[in-house]
Amino acid sequence: MNKYDRLSYTNHSISSMGNNVPICYNNKYIKFLGVKMVTSTIIELKNVSKKYGDKIILDNVSLKLNTGELVIIKGISGAGKTTLLNILAFLETKDSGELFWKNQNIDILSSKEKKNIRRTEMGFIFQDFNLYENLTVEENLEIFLSLATEMKKNEIQRQIKEYLDKFHMEDRRKTYARLLSGGERQRVAVMRAFLINSSIVFADEPSANIDDENKRIIRDYLAELKIGGKSIIIVTHDDYYDKLADEIYVLKNGNLSEASWG
């Protein structure tokens, strides 16, 4: 597979959009029914370094992500992929370098502002699910949506129902989180990330514990989000998402480099 096969896969997804077929798609702008959607930078790392003790995790790493772009980060266990995601999501500090959110240097933002961006604009599919163990699946999603969005209660319930159906979790609606299997917990995390209208989705091994059918649902959803102008960063060992990627990077010895196609 090469880069162009991957783009044609994305184009294939676009072609299933009925009347909203883009007249032009080149990862720089999309034209739906005469309306140009110009891409803009959503997040950018410039020369960021990070150490834990003496161990260099990131060494002058730069990365830029525009709206509607999906990048994949690969690397062996312990390479620093999660650390990189955490820095991008303001969950971990960098030692040096700069991080920009929509062209604004995050160093000038208060922790309240950063928290607000994280809550309302960032969706997370992380291995550490942070579910409320003593609440049901439905209650977990309700709480999350009422904190992260302005949605009215009946709209929240309508959307939750739609997603529970989509992810084949309707029969787990009233199940306490502590009683869910690993794969079911992962699906709740995925629903949570997709339910809010975030600008960017961070996914750390989104297909861990997931069966083929749910993997396919997640991949199709990520493709839809991308077409809708959302940005996505996936950390994974799995090649399953490669066809969706605008770029695949490998993190090795603190350096982030483009993976060779093939």
Ligand X SMILES: Nc1ncnc2c1ncn2[C@@H]1O[C@H](COP(=O)(O)OP(=O)(O)OP(=O)(O)O)[C@@H](O)[C@H]1O
Amino acid present at 92: E
Query: In the complex, what is the shortest distance from the CB of residue 80 to ligand X, in angstroms, rounded to a whole number?
Result: 4
Tell me how far, at minimum, the Cβ of 182 lies from ligand X, in Å.
Answer: 16
Task: Give 126 or 167: the residue with its C-beta nearer to ligand X.
Answer: 126
> Does the CA dihedral 135-136-142-145 come out positive or negative?
positive
Q: CB 74 → ligand X: shortest distance, Å?
A: 9
By CB under 6 A, is residue 132 in contact with ligand X? no
Closest CB 50 distance from ligand X, rounded Å:
9
- In the complex, minimum distance from the CB of residue 147 to ligand X, in angstroms, rounded to a whole number: 26
Residue 94 within binding range of ligand X, rule CB under 6 A = no
Closer residue to ligand X, CB minimum distance, 193 or 256: 256
Which is closer to ligand X, CB of 125 or CB of 164?
125
Site for ligand X in 2-61 (CB under 6 A): 52, 57
Residues from 59 through 88 that contact ligand X (CB under 6 A): 75, 77-83
Determine, following the binding rule CB under 6 A, whether residue 206 of this chain makes contact with ligand X.
Answer: no
Cβ closer to ligand X: 78 or 183?
Answer: 78
User: Residue holding tokens 């991008």?
Assistant: 88
In the bound state with ligand X, the residue whose beta carbon lies nearer, of 82 and 231, is 82
Name which of 85 and 245 has its Cβ closer to ligand X. 85
Work out how close the CB of 234 gets to ligand X at its nearest, in angstroms, rounded to a whole number: 12
On the CB side of 61, CA atoms within 13 Å amount to 32
Kindly state the smallest distance separating residue 18's Cβ from ligand X, in Å.
39
DSSP assignments along the chain, one per residue = --HHHHHHHHHHHHHTSGGG-EEEESSSEEEETTEEEE--EEEEEEEEEEEETTEEEEEEEEEEEETT-EEEEE--TTSSHHHHHHHHTTSS--SEEEEEETTEEGGGS-HHHHHHHHHHHEEEE-SS----TTSBHHHHHHHHHHHH----HHHHHHHHHHHHHHTT-GGGTTSBGGG--HHHHHHHHHHHHHHS--SEEEEESTTTT--HHHHHHHHHHHHHHHHTT-EEEEE-S-GGGGGG-SEEEEEETTEEEEPPP-
Number of chain positions touching ligand X (CB under 6 A)? 10
Residue whose CB is less far from ligand X, 55 or 178 = 55
Interaction site with ligand X (CB under 6 A): 52, 57, 75, 77-83
